[in-house]
Amino acid sequence: MFTPQIIAIIGATCSGKSALALQLAPLLQSYIFSLDSLSIYKEIDIASAKPSHEELSKVKHFAINVLQPHECVHAGIFINLLNEALEICKQDSKNLIIVGGTSFYLKSILTGLSPNPKDFHKNNPHNQQDSNNTHKSLESPKQYTYELLYEIDKDYATKISPNDSYRIQKGIEIFIQTGLSPSEFFTNNPPTPFHKPIHIFNLNMPRELLRDNIDERTHAMIESGIIDEAKSLLQHYGKDIQPFKSIGLKECLLFLNGEINKNILESLIATHTKQLAKRQMTFNRTQFTCITQLDYTLSIQEILNIIKNIQ
């Protein structure tokens, strides 16, 4: 059976990763896996800078338009989608290009995740009682559930933000489903690394040019209707959905609440995106030990040669 080769293209936002992947895909006989925390959502096209319908029709993409806006995204979802994508790649004799700015999820894919605590649920005799006693706590305000997590596992709680509702709930659920504190559970159940090699390529671009690209994209988003997109999400799903924590949409929420004007909106989105790009570059530089650098000035043929030589 055909064994897909996997490469990942990472880099700061607006560095041209997606465009490069679209160029490389037919040359490498590849499909594309989008590792992006917004593109995975339906109804969020502008804020995510999602590939156009034409681009999606040219190359098969995975992990785009999968979740409803009210659903939460996390690393486990991407790992499951990646495994499904690889099965399709095997059947179609295609390789796979992973591309996206959310390198944290790529790191999680490489290092792996611990087993699902739900698998331990039936083996814990205290589950039912604990579930009944703690269920209401999961529906309480964030500060209360953070305090509950702090009581369960001080070490774990101090490593996360009191506003990180996903990890707070996950920590409490681990305790309910396994009878162990999160720290004990993760110590006893270490993550399983991803089972296939992934060659990582980092697309580099001068910071000045990157900032210009961010300004241009931000202006294009405003002109394309990101405000209306955010307004529709707010009307249908409310302000507490996970996407409203993302750059672009969270600033639009301020605008829709009358807290800022349109000029400040565009400026804020651009500023926050530039700050994100800086964090992405730092993360990519420090979190991946085996990585090949690609300069943005290289031709597609030069990049293709580099990739083939490494593979």
pLDDT tens-place string over residues 101-113: 889 999 999 998 8
Asked whether residue 300 falls in the same domain as residue 266, the answer is yes
**Residues 205-221, buried b or exposed e (16+ Cβ, 10 A)?**
beeeebbebbbebbeeb
pTM: 0.84
CATH number at residue 76: 3.40.50.300
16 is in an annotated binding site: yes
* Domain extent for 76: 6-112+193-310
Is 11 assigned to a binding site? Answer: yes
102 marked as binding residue: no
As a whole number of angstroms, the distance between CA 5 and CA 95 comes to 5
16: left (phi over 0), alpha (psi -120 to 50) or beta: left
Query: Is 176 inside any structural domain?
Result: yes
What is the distance, to the nearest Å, from the Cα of residue 94 to the centroid of all Cα atoms in its chain? 24
The answer, yes or no, to whether residue 280 has pLDDT greater than 70, is yes
Closest CA to 198 of 84, 310, 51, 61: 310
15 marked as part of a ligand binding site:
yes
Question: Is 1 a member of any domain?
Answer: no
DSSP string, 186-225: HHHSPPPPPSS-EEEEEEE--HHHHHHHHHHHHHHHHHHT
Q: Tell me whether residue 14 is annotated as binding.
A: yes
Q: Of 133, 156, 188, which marks where a domain is finished?
A: 188
Q: What is the pLDDT of residues 183-230, one digit of tens each?
A: 999 999 988 888 889 999 999 999 999 999 999 999 999 999 999 999
Using the 3D structure, point to which of 160, 188, 216 is the last residue of a domain: 188
Q: Are 40 and 72 within 8 A, CB to CB? A: no
> HEC states along 267-294?
HHHHHHHHHHHHHHHHHHHHHCCCCEEE
Domain count across the chain: 2
Do residues 201 and 97 lie in contact, with contact meaning Cβ atoms separated by under 8 Å?
Answer: no
pLDDT digits (tens, 9 = 90+) for 6-59: 999 999 999 999 999 999 999 999 999 999 999 999 999 999 999 999 999 999
Residue 30 marked as a ligand binder: no
* Closest C-alpha among 62, 57, 66, 53 to residue 95: 62
**The last residue of a domain, from among 139, 159, 188:** 188
The answer to whether residues 46 and 97 belong to one domain is yes
Model pLDDT, residue 120: 67
